[in-house]
Amino acid sequence: MDEELIKVIGEVEKEKGLEKDVIIEALEAAMLTAARKRKGLVADLEANFDPETGEVNVIEFKKVVETVENPDLEITLDQALAIEDDPDLQIGDEIGLLIPTEELGRIAAQTAKQVIIQRVREADRDVVFEAFKDRRGELISGTVRRIERGNIMVDLLKAEAILPYREQLPRENVRPGDRIEALVLEVRKEARGSQIVLSRAHPDFVVKLFEREVPEIYEGIVSIKAVAREAATRTKIGVQSRDADVDPVGACVGMKGIRVQAVVNELRGEKIDIVPYSPDPVRFVCSALQPAEVSRVLVDEGERRMEIVVPDDQLSLAIGRRGQNVRLAAEVTGWKLDLHSESKMNERRAIAFESLDRIEGLGELIQQTLYNYGYTSASQVAESEVSALAAIPGIEEERAQQLVEAALTAVASERAERKIRRELARDQASYIYKLYDLAITMPRGEGLDGIPELGAVGRAAVMDSGLCNLAELYVEATEMDLEAFAEAYGWSEGRAWTVAYRAEDAMAGRLDVELNRLVDKPDETDFAAAAEEVENEAPAEDAAEAKAGDVEVAGDGEVSHASSPEDAETAESEEGA
């Protein structure tokens, strides 16, 4: 009796958690494989475990024949009688021959060992798979055993699980020996054994943590209807209560926030927004965008899209850091969200009403109705089906047909205007190019004499400021504010206006185009006032002489200033003394 083998079977059964029949089947398969190595693949072999002796017997079956043609499957009657003393044995019978273990050899024994190991592994894999296949989506705790290429191997006592790098919380540090909790994400059968995949980044991990911390969720009074998560940064969950007396948000937060804080601690400080769920998508979206306030919502049910309008000072709050708040709100609600500020929407509304106003016979009420139904331009009305317009309350089919025809006319008018604007813009760009080219190539001082409102002093001041010719003066006059232009040269605004007009008139003649950068034209009174201002200015040469007379150079190189003839005489007498 092989008590050692029976003992080994018992130990493997206890250690691996395998059934005894599975181990015996592995032993039988191993011995059968070893025998085939010795006897060949054609031989008819069978392996049986004898529980009484504790041995695995390998039996080779052969047919008793008169003449042997296949030695692997046949045996003569004389040979059979020599092996087994059975007087009833005759030709055509089948005889079983016991193969001694020693006859299998060392190589066969090694093969048997490998088969046993393989079969035990397969059985172990099946046991692990059966134990964990129904635990998908559950929380499980384990000990970090080691870290391989960023993946964390977790010891679950009876099995080993893997926490892939992509399923870990970013910037989370763990070391071998640490306790870790995760969600059973997947259980797979693989050639190397069953693989248990864990996750701490999956949204359901947050759900399971709340189920553990909030009794109302575990009991089914409060349910988590939707969840959106960006691991390690922020999570939004929508909660609903079946009991009107139970506040779902308050139940999840807990007394002094103790319940939600426990979840936050497990998630290493991840922010959690708990919002009340509502079957009304608009109400749910408004809650999901908290803490931002929503002014109004435009819904497109066909595209499952909403345009959200928020106050200007709430736009950045609604969008969130790097768009996270609106992104999570869209994910948790299942709607596409477009955020707009009130000023932007007012601007869009003004543009839309300007286009719709071109449709002849369109009253304010119908205009507002069309805008509410998503028609923001005359072209949209023109391209719409009559039946679609007739489906709008307050618009009958005949009226819808009239609106489409009027919209087509308005669209044709808009296209004609756009064409004219494009041509004007093209001409504008052409003359601006010529204008700046003239400003560079025009000789110094050219054209300034043709502006009488400048005067000699004004021309000198203009050139001293760096403006060398008429083109440069015109560019500055039309690009600067009138008040700033006048202040730059000490002129009145009326004179600055007339100078700018004269410069534009002169440049229009040189460019052979009609320039209209100045909206209004000065009248005769403005020109007369400017002329009077020029006359009252001291001539440039007189001003220069007066300036030179105020400065005298003394014999020793010092500069002295004489403010009057008396001061000069006093200075001379002092010098003589």
| Euclidean distance between CA atoms 329 and 236, whole angstroms | 7
Whether 252 shows a pLDDT value over 90: the answer reads: yes
Whether 28 shows a pLDDT value over 90: the answer reads: no
Whether 372 shows a pLDDT value over 60: the answer reads: yes
Average pLDDT rounded to a whole number, residues 14-24: 69
Q: What is the structure's pLDDT at 236?
A: 97
- Given a contact cutoff of 8 angstroms between Cβ atoms, the answer to whether 453 and 491 are in contact is no
Radius of gyration of the chain (CA): 49
Q: Hey, what are 36's tokens?
A: 């085939």
Q: What is the structure's pLDDT at 7?
A: 64
Query: What band does 104 get if pLDDT is binned at 50, 70 and 90?
Result: low
Whether 540 shows a pLDDT value over 50: the answer reads: no
Phi, psi of 27 (to 5 degrees): -65, -45
Phi, psi of 280 (to 5 degrees): -80, 110
Beta bridge partners of 340: 309
Closest CA to 49 of 114, 110, 1: 1
Q: What is the structure's pLDDT at 150?
A: 92
Whether 295 shows a pLDDT value over 50: the answer reads: yes
Q: What is the structure's pLDDT at 315?
A: 94
Q: What is the structure's pLDDT at 564?
A: 41
Question: What confidence tens digit (pLDDT) does each residue in 74-85 have?
Answer: 888 888 777 777
| Euclidean distance between CA atoms 35 and 60, whole angstroms | 9
One-letter amino acid at 294 equals V
Sign of CA dihedral 327, 331, 333, 338: positive
For the chain, how far is it from start to end, CA to CA, in angstroms? Answer: 151
Q: How far apart, in Å, are the Cα atoms of 168 and each of 139, 232, 265?
A: 15, 9, 15
β-pair type (44-50, 271-276):
unpaired
Lowest mean pLDDT among 45-59, 148-162, 407-421, 563-577: 563-577
| Euclidean distance between CA atoms 332 and 323, whole angstroms | 14
Closest CA to 170 of 200, 210, 140, 148: 200
| Euclidean distance between CA atoms 499 and 557, whole angstroms | 44
Whether 576 shows a pLDDT value over 50: the answer reads: no
The length of the chain, given as a count of residues: 577
Closest CA to 377 of 392, 356, 396, 361: 356
Query: What band does 474 get if pLDDT is binned at 50, 70 and 90?
Result: confident
CA 534 to chain CA mean position, Å: 66
Q: What is the structure's pLDDT at 557?
A: 39
| Alpha helical stretches, state H, 50-189 | 77-83, 101-132
Phi/psi zone of residue 455: left (φ > 0), alpha (ψ -120 to 50 degrees), beta? Answer: left
- Given a contact cutoff of 8 angstroms between Cβ atoms, the answer to whether 74 and 62 are in contact is yes
DSSP codes joined into one string, 71-95 = TTTEEEHHHHHHHS--TT--TT-EE
Most confident segment among 11-15, 39-43, 354-358, 501-505: 354-358
Q: What is the structure's pLDDT at 125?
A: 76
Cβ neighbours of residue 319 closer than 8 Å, sequence gap 6 or more: 325, 326, 339
Query: What band does 105 get if pLDDT is binned at 50, 70 and 90?
Result: low
Whether 567 shows a pLDDT value over 60: the answer reads: no
* Domains defined for the chain, CATH in brackets: 3-129 (3.30.1480.10), 136-199 (2.40.50.140), 442-537 (no CATH), 542-577 (no CATH)
Closest CA to 402 of 422, 423, 384: 384
Phi, psi of 171 (to 5 degrees): 60, 20
Higher pLDDT residue, 284 or 122?
Answer: 284
Question: What confidence tens digit (pLDDT) does each residue in 119-172 have?
Answer: 667 777 777 888 888 899 999 999 999 999 999 999 998 789 999 999 999 988
| Euclidean distance between CA atoms 340 and 309, whole angstroms | 5
Q: Hey, what are 477's tokens?
A: 């006059």
Q: Per residue in 65-85, is it b (16+ CB within 10 Å) or e — as a string?
A: beeeeeeebebebeebeeeee
DSSP state of 230: E
| Euclidean distance between CA atoms 403 and 391, whole angstroms | 13
**Collapsing DSSP states into helix, strand and coil, what is residue 367?**
helix
Query: What band does 205 get if pLDDT is binned at 50, 70 and 90?
Result: very high
Whether 2 shows a pLDDT value over 60: the answer reads: no
Closest CA to 127 of 14, 32, 28, 47: 14
Query: What band does 544 get if pLDDT is binned at 50, 70 and 90?
Result: very low
| Euclidean distance between CA atoms 147 and 465, whole angstroms | 74
As a whole number, the mean pLDDT across the chain is: 83
Higher pLDDT residue, 536 or 236?
Answer: 236
**Collapsing DSSP states into helix, strand and coil, what is residue 1?**
coil
Burial of 367 (0-12, 13-18, 19+ CB in 10 A): middle
Q: What is the structure's pLDDT at 8?
A: 63
**Collapsing DSSP states into helix, strand and coil, what is residue 413?**
helix
Q: What is the structure's pLDDT at 356?
A: 92
- Given a contact cutoff of 8 angstroms between Cβ atoms, the answer to whether 235 and 227 are in contact is yes
| Euclidean distance between CA atoms 265 and 164, whole angstroms | 21
